[in-house]
Amino acid sequence: MAEMELEQEGEKKFIVQHDRPECIGCAACTAVAPEFWEMNDDEKSDIIGGKDKDDGWQELDIDDKDYTENFEAAESCPVNVIHIVNKKTGEKII
Ligand code: SF4
């Protein structure tokens, strides 16, 4: 990423979001970013260590070093159910 602002130590800059109900289970994200994505027995993917929300979405806070891999996972998703949000600005990056 081009813009790299110094943040408070320990603060994660981004949120990865997974619109899990709309996931079609193609496994592309798990191939691109196996450290962060895995297939579940219900044939949808999960964010490893992600928080399950009441609406079925999952979220995980990440920092700069994990951004590219998750961005590539989001780009690989054929139904665009992986999103990355800048926590500070609220901007939806993808
Ligand atoms: S790439 Fe998208 S549709 Fe495919 S398993 Fe991952 S989140 Fe689901």
Is residue 34, in this structure, part of any structural domain at all? yes
Vertex 87 angle, CA 72 and 33, to 5°: 20
- For ligand 1, atom 1, name the residue with the nearest CA: 77
Q: Which domain holds residue 61?
A: 12-86
CATH number of the CATH domain containing 73: 3.30.70.20
Task: Tell me the C-alpha distance between 14 and 90, whole Å.
Answer: 9
Tens-place pLDDT, residues 70-90 = 999 999 999 999 999 999 999
Is residue 1, in this structure, part of any structural domain at all? no
Q: Is the CB of 16 under 6 A from ligand 1?
A: no
Is residue 4, in this structure, part of any structural domain at all? no
Task: Tell me the C-alpha distance between 66 and 79, whole Å.
Answer: 22
| Alpha carbon of 7 to ligand 1 centroid (Å) | 30
pTM (2 d.p.): 0.90
Is residue 24, in this structure, part of any structural domain at all? yes
Count of domains in the chain? 1
* Length, in residues, of the chain: 94
Tens-place pLDDT, residues 15-43 = 999 999 999 999 999 999 999 999 999 99
